[in-house]
Amino acid sequence: MTEYLQIGKIVNTHGTKGEVKVMPLTNDIRRYDKLKSLFLNADENNNRQKLTIESVRYDKNLVFIKFTGIDDMEGGKRLKNFYLEIDKKDAVKLPKDSFFIFELINMKVFDEQHDFLGILTDIIETGSNDCYSIKPPEGREYLIPALKSVVMKVDVANNIMTVKIPDGLFD
């Protein structure tokens, strides 16, 4: 089964020749330079349409893409609000002990004693380090720093994270 990763969302058209404005959903906005095609997630059944990239340019934090065969504003308008995806096998290679956000969201989180703490529901970028938002079955949400001294093990295959709770964090 092929898996796809969302790397952008078409938010509008640009000009009259079919170019679209894309909000990137990736840390490396320049990754579009290396792509020859993308998949448009075209309907609620996850049917995908392959689109060939004709040109890419950047302005501020947006990407402007011209696709082959989309040659007027009406054609661009039909793409608005759809997500652009790549095949997971074409994803950028991450450094060791780094993970994609989609791999961590909904992961079961346990402490060192194998006690279930909750589900990782969000990743908050704070600047110095990320924080993982953990939602227990009952009670309030916890924020755990995404540090090597706290995150002991991440098992993507089994959807499990093991953490060492810093002293005073849950007091």
User: What's residue 1's pLDDT?
Assistant: 43
Per-residue pLDDT of the chain (171 residues; tens, 9 = 90+): 458 888 899 999 998 999 999 999 887 888 899 899 999 986 667 688 999 999 999 998 899 999 999 999 999 999 999 889 988 887 778 888 888 888 888 999 999 999 999 999 998 888 788 899 999 988 788 899 999 999 999 998 899 999 998 777 665
Domain count, the chain: 2
CA torsion 62→64→65→71, rounded to 10°? Answer: 140
Residues 110 and 40 in one domain: no
Question: What is the pTM assigned to this prediction?
Answer: 0.68
User: Which of 89, 117, 135 is the last residue before a domain boundary?
Assistant: 89
The answer to whether residues 83 and 107 belong to one domain is: no
Let me know if residue 171 belongs to a domain.
no
Determine whether 104 is exposed, middle or buried from the number of CB atoms within 10 Å of its CB (0-12, 13-18, 19+): buried
CATH of the domain at 66: 2.40.30.60
Q: Are residues 54 and 113 in the same domain?
A: no
Residues 110 and 37 in one domain: no
Give a yes or no: residue 96 inside a domain.
no
63/31 Cα distance (integer angstroms)? 10
Residues 123 and 73 in one domain: no
Residue 112: CATH number of its domain: 2.30.30.240
Residues 70 and 115 in one domain: no
Instruction: Give the domain extent around 114.
Output: 101-163
Q: Which of 38, 58, 89 finishes a domain? A: 89
Alpha carbon 10 to its chain's center: 15
**∠65-89-147 over CA atoms, to 5°?**
95
Out of 89, 120, 145, a domain closes at 89
- 79 & 34 share domain: yes
